[in-house]
């Protein structure tokens, strides 16, 4: 099955059931029969760039697709009513059992996240964060295959799970 953007999965109007849906620039579907419009704006995610004192980055080895076996960072999608800063704290705790602090925005990049053959538009936000200690670090069972401290510039580009992560790592390295 091909990986199609979200709007291309709609064949009928969600309001009236009409088959006359119009796809507008891949951003929305419109129904000429009942004047319904459904927009498909990107979802938000947030991730934590956590470095140790020697400059090594904490990465999570992904246990599931997309990008199973590749390196990501602690992070995930926002829940309804949740601030991006809250996502970073919650997801880091869930995935690594670490409590982070001094969370500050660093950069954001567009991304595509393909799940079950649907290509979702995402805006990935990246935050710098600190931990007092890596004691008690523990990979979330079933979600994280491993936790590693890596020298980012030594990780092959294809080992990073997402294009946006490659971009934020490059931005971080350029600003050192």
- What residues contact 122, with CB distance under 8 A and at least 6 apart? 42, 43, 44, 45, 77, 110, 111, 112, 113, 164
Q: What is the pLDDT of residues 57-101, one digit of tens each?
A: 999 999 999 999 999 999 999 999 999 999 999 999 999 999 999
Q: What is the pLDDT of residues 6-19, one digit of tens each?
A: 878 889 999 999 99
Residue 30 CA to residue 20 CA, distance in Å, equals: 9
Q: What is the pLDDT of residues 6-52, one digit of tens each?
A: 878 889 999 999 999 998 877 889 999 999 999 989 999 999 999 99
Residue 9 has a pLDDT of 85
- For the entire predicted model, the pTM comes to 0.88
Residue 2 has a pLDDT of 60
Count Cα neighbours of 149 within 13 Å in the Cβ-side half-sphere. 9
Residue 34 CA to residue 53 CA, distance in Å, equals: 59
Residue 9, both tokens = 């999965």
Residue 7 has a pLDDT of 79
Domains of the chain, start order: 4-39 (no CATH), 43-175 (3.90.79.10)
Q: What is the pLDDT of residues 131-161, one digit of tens each?
A: 999 999 999 999 999 999 999 999 999 999 9
Is the pLDDT assigned to residue 1 strictly greater than 70?
A: no
Q: Please give the DSSP secondary-structure letter assigned to residue 60.
A: E
Q: What is the pLDDT of residues 100-111, one digit of tens each?
A: 999 999 999 999
Residue 63 has a pLDDT of 97
Cβ contact 157:68 at 8 Å: no
């Amino acid at each position: 099955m091909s990986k199609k953007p979200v709007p291309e999965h709609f064949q009928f109007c969600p309001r009236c059931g009409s088959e006359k849906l119009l796809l507008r620039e891949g951003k929305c579907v419109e129904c000429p029969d009942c004047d319904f419009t459904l927009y498909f704006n990107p979802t938000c995610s947030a991730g934590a760039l956590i470095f140790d004192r020697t400059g090594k980055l904490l990465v999570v080895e992904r246990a599931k697709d997309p990008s199973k076996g590749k390196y990501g960072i602690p992070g995930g999608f926002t829940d309804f009513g949740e601030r991006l800063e809250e996502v970073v704290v919650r997801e880091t705790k869930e995935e690594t059992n670490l409590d982070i602090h001094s969370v500050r925005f660093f950069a954001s990049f567009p991304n595509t996240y393909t799940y079950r053959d649907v290509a979702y538009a995402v805006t990935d936000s990246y935050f710098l964060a600190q931990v007092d200690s890596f004691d008690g670090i523990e990979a979330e069972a079933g979600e994280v295959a491993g936790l590693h401290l890596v020298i980012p510039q030594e990780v092959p580009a294809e080992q990073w799970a997402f294009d946006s992560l490659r971009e934020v790592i490059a931005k971080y390295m350029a600003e050192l």
